[in-house]
Amino acid sequence: MYSSELIKGTLKTIILKLLSDNGKMYGYEITQKVKELTDGKIQLTEGALYPTLHALEADGILTTNAVNVGNRIRKYYTVTKSGKKMASEKVNEFQDFMKTMIFLLDLKLNIG
């Protein structure tokens, strides 16, 4: 398990990338998918996931589709066109960030 600060900064990137790759998904499915892909190393907390999903929806980056499941309603999220663009931007930004971090931390380690 990674610390929540580390996950918080990358939450949007994770959500957008997952939804771009998998089409429509619902909240629980997203948490399970992340858990499965990372062997449980990353577990999204509901307290962070849902506020972010709602904010992304309000910004027009995600759209929802409500489906009746048994005796409750499930909201499926999909990325819009601008969301797809944002997803690739976020992934690129993160890639760049990683390179910088590797460089920065390596450098510090070498000095140390």
Cα separation, 87 vs 16, whole angstroms: 5
Does the protein bind other proteins through residue 8 (CB under 8 A)?
Answer: no
In whole angstroms, how close is the CB of 112 to other proteins at the nearest point?
34
66 near other proteins (CB under 8 A): yes
- Binding-site string for other proteins from residue 41 to residue 60, where x marks contact by CB under 8 A and - marks none: ----xxxx-xxxxxx--xx-
# binding residues, other proteins (CB under 8 A)? 25
